[in-house]
Every structure is written in C-alpha cells, then in structure tokens.
Amino acid sequence: MSRVYNFSAGPAVLPEEVLKEAAEEMLDYRGTGMSVMEMSHRSKAYETIIREAEADLRELMNIPDNYKVLFLQGGASQQFAMIPMNLMKNGVADYIVTGQWAKKAYQEACIYGKANKIASSEDQTFSYIPDCSDLPISEDADYVYICENNTIYGTKFKTLPNTKGKTLVADVSSCFLSEPVDVTQYGVIYGGVQKNIGPAGVVIVIIREDLITEDVLPGTPTMLRYKIHADNGSLYNTPPAYGIYICGKVFKWLKKQGGLEAMKAHNEKKAAILYDFLDQSGLFKGTVRKEDRSLMNVPFVTGDEELDAKFVKEAKAAGFENLKGHRTVGGMRASIYNAMPIEGVEKLVEFMKKFEAENR
Ligand SMILES: *Cc1c(COP(=O)(O)O)cnc(C)c1O
C-alpha cells in the first residue's frame, strides 16, 4: 500500500488513523456482526454513533444549548436554497460575494426573494476580502450571508462583517473545525463535510433555535425545512449514516489532537511553510492579498500556463496529487486541510524548490 500526499480541495484527505479504524470495524462494528453501512439508523448502536458525534462536535466548537446541530444531505449547495426558504421572513437578504460559492448562493436566493449583493471582490477575480466594517445593510434584511473561506480563490474572512445586528449566515465548508469560532456570532453556520471533516454526502448545519420555525416560504418541501430535521434529531428520514459515523471519528481525532486551539496553531504553522516559500520564490507566487490568505486553500502560479501544467504533471509523478488549480482560475492550488500532515507541506516545498532550480 502506498498513500500519496493528497492536496485535493474536496473530497479531500482524511486522517489515516480514522481510515484504519473504520477499516477494522468494516465487517463487524463492535460486536454487532455487521458494518455500520448495513445497520438500521433506528438501532441502538447507530443512535449511539450519531448522538456521540453531535456531543463531540458540540464540545469541540463549544456550541451553546440554544443552537441545534443538524446532519443533513444535499451538500452545501442545497443550503443555498434551504437558507432563503427558511429564513426569508421579510423576503430580503444581503449577500457578500467573495467567490463562486457565495455567488451561487446569491443567485439561488434571488429565486426566492430580494437578495442584495452588498459587497463583492469580483472586480479583482476574488483575490481579496472587501472591507465589511460599514456596509449598507438593508433595514429589513432577514440575514447577511458570507462564505467564510473561499475554497477556490484561497481567501478567508479574518474578521466577521459588521452586520449591524442582523443575523449572520456563514458557509464554512472549507474552514470547518480548522480553528476555534465563537458560535454566538452566527445565526447559522453550515458546511459540506467533504472538505475538512469527512466523506461527501453529509452537510452539517448549526442553527440558532429561534431561527427554526414553521413560518417558511410557501411551497417549501418538507425535506427542506429545518424544523422537521431539528424536531427529529436528524433522523426524520434515513440520514447519510456511514458518513456521519466517519465524521464522528474525525471529531474524536480532533479532540485527541488537542481541539480547535491546537488545530489552529498546527494549521498556522503548516500554512506558513508554504506562504513563506511563495513570498521569497523567484518562480512561484501566491495570488491572494496577504492579509486575506486562507490557512486551508493556497492558490499559486508561475505566470506561465505551460510551466504550471509541467509542474502539476511532475508533482503528480512525485506523489503530490491534485495540485491543479480550479478550472475557473488555472495555476495551482494546494488544499492543506486539518488532516494534511506537516511533512506533506514540507516535502511539497522541497519539491517546488527543486522545480524552481531546474526551470529558471
Ligand atoms: C465545495 C463547496 C461548496 C459546494 O459543496 P457541495 O457539497 O458540492 O454542494 C459550497 N461552498 C464551499 C465553500 C465549498 O468549498
């Protein structure tokens, strides 16, 4: 068996320890004589799995009691619709557009009500986070929406926008559990888990209880109502059971690493290795304004498309996978999520140095 260094933006690298443990439990989960994949989601064994996963996530993120944790399906993209359907009481919401994902969320919200684009960084291909300290927040906005870490462009909100008292809704798909957050600053925090937590198929929604009501847009399907999932403990219908089980293992792994404070320190150290190299390289350069750099997704270019392609090809041959940039951006992108070990980044930088020496 040989494992590569996987820099994929998602689905992405998972802790090896977690995969091994899941492999050991594959055929017989703790004496049940069956795999978690084969188990009723109403069984005692599964009930324990999902409730423990929730409890561990609550502990990791210090989630207050007046927030619900929902394990749903449909990916982050389904939340683009679910959020306006459930939260647009006045039919108005403000969107800060800092990348493709925020733009898609904004476009989806336009289907359901009056969505206002109150700030954008599209003028410079989303390479920075706009100043959000004094935005023209709409009087009657039901919420203000952000994508906190922009997976494709590699930017991150270092301070949350001033929402002037309005509810903040954040897509944290690609920075979920990468550092501590103050949950009380948000009305809704959500993300697809396939970036920084687990396998594709699960989306986690952390939502303040007062936002969960029967008062949703007319025509909202039952499955797209937060209330039905909250009232049923994420077991209204069959949940993505195996995916939640793996997420639960990752939560335990994170606790063992020292929790989110420790992950933040680890992630800062790891990202600095790559950014410090990019800042002094004569060949490679980062594409994002320095103060807005993501700790999770690091896009970079040589400035020459052919050389970029050569780099991606040679890197792959050397065991560094999925370094090709997003199809809309080009160049390279290294996604260095929680589960990417420090030596993966150290070895990548060594390889980049060698490539630079050979291609000057
Ligand atoms: C990947 C991603 C999405 C889309 O996720 P799906 O689960 O494929 O719908 C949305 N937002 C962000 C920030 C992402 O990184």
Q: How far is the CA of 44 from the centre of ligand 1 (A)?
A: 32
Question: The pTM is what?
Answer: 0.98
Q: How far is the CA of 350 from the centre of ligand 1 (A)?
A: 31
Residues with active-site annotation: 101, 171, 195
| Residue nearest to ligand 1 atom 10, measured at CA | 76
Substitution site in 151, 172, 175 for ligand 1 pocket (most atoms within 8 Å of beta carbon): 151
Q: Cα 95–63–69 angle (5° rounding)?
A: 70
| Residue nearest to ligand 1 atom 14, measured at CA | 173
Q: To the nearest 10°, the Cα dihedral for 16, 56, 86, 203? A: 10
Residue found by looking up tokens 């979920």 in the block: 176
Residue found by looking up tokens 């103050």 in the block: 182
Q: Strand, helix or coil at 192?
A: strand
The pLDDT score that the predictor gives to residue 1 is 74
Render 244-299 in DSSP notation, one character per residue: HHHHHHHHHHHHHTTHHHHHHHHHHHHHHHHHHHHHH-SS-EE-S-GGGB-SSEEE
Q: To the nearest 10°, the Cα dihedral for 33, 36, 40, 43? A: 70
Atom of ligand 1 lying closest to residue 10 CA: 1
H or E segment to which residue 238 belongs: none
The pLDDT score that the predictor gives to residue 2 is 86
Q: How far is the CA of 171 from the centre of ligand 1 (A)?
A: 8
Which pLDDT tens digit goes with each residue over 194-237? 999 999 999 999 999 999 999 999 999 999 999 999 999 999 99
Atom of ligand 1 lying closest to residue 200 CA: 7
Q: Strand, helix or coil at 9?
A: coil
Which pLDDT tens digit goes with each residue over 51-83? 999 999 999 999 999 999 999 999 999 999 999
Residue 314 CA to residue 306 CA, distance in Å, equals 12
Report residue 236 as tokens: 């209204």
pLDDT band at residue 126 under the 50/70/90 scheme: very high
The 3 state secondary structure assigned to 73-101 is CCHHHHHHHHHHHHHCCCCEEEEEECCHH
Report residue 336 as tokens: 């260095």
Region 261-270 average pLDDT: 98
Which pLDDT tens digit goes with each residue over 150-198? 999 999 999 999 999 999 999 999 999 999 999 999 999 999 999 999 9
Atom of ligand 1 lying closest to residue 148 CA: 13
| Residue nearest to ligand 1 atom 13, measured at CA | 173
Please state, for a pLDDT cut of 70, what percent of the chain lies above it: 100
Residues flanking ligand 1, CB < 6 Å = 10, 75-77, 101, 147, 151, 171, 173-174, 192, 195
Q: How far is the CA of 258 from the centre of ligand 1 (A)?
A: 27
The pLDDT score that the predictor gives to residue 8 is 98
Rg (CA), the chain: 21
Please state, for a pLDDT cut of 90, what percent of the chain lies above it: 98
Residue 82 CA to residue 357 CA, distance in Å, equals 50
- The rounded mean pLDDT for the chain is 97
Atom of ligand 1 lying closest to residue 78 CA: 9
Region 143-148 average pLDDT: 98
Report residue 335 as tokens: 């996604």
| Residue nearest to ligand 1 atom 7, measured at CA | 75
| Residue nearest to ligand 1 atom 11, measured at CA | 101
* Residue 344 in this model has a pLDDT that exceeds 80: yes
The upper half-sphere exposure of residue 214, i.e. CA atoms within 13 Å in the direction of its Cβ, equals 0
| Residue nearest to ligand 1 atom 3, measured at CA | 76
- In 3D, which of 240, 205, 255, 236 has the Cα closest to residue 36? 240
Q: How far is the CA of 101 from the centre of ligand 1 (A)?
A: 7
The pLDDT score that the predictor gives to residue 329 is 80
Q: How far is the CA of 66 from the centre of ligand 1 (A)?
A: 26
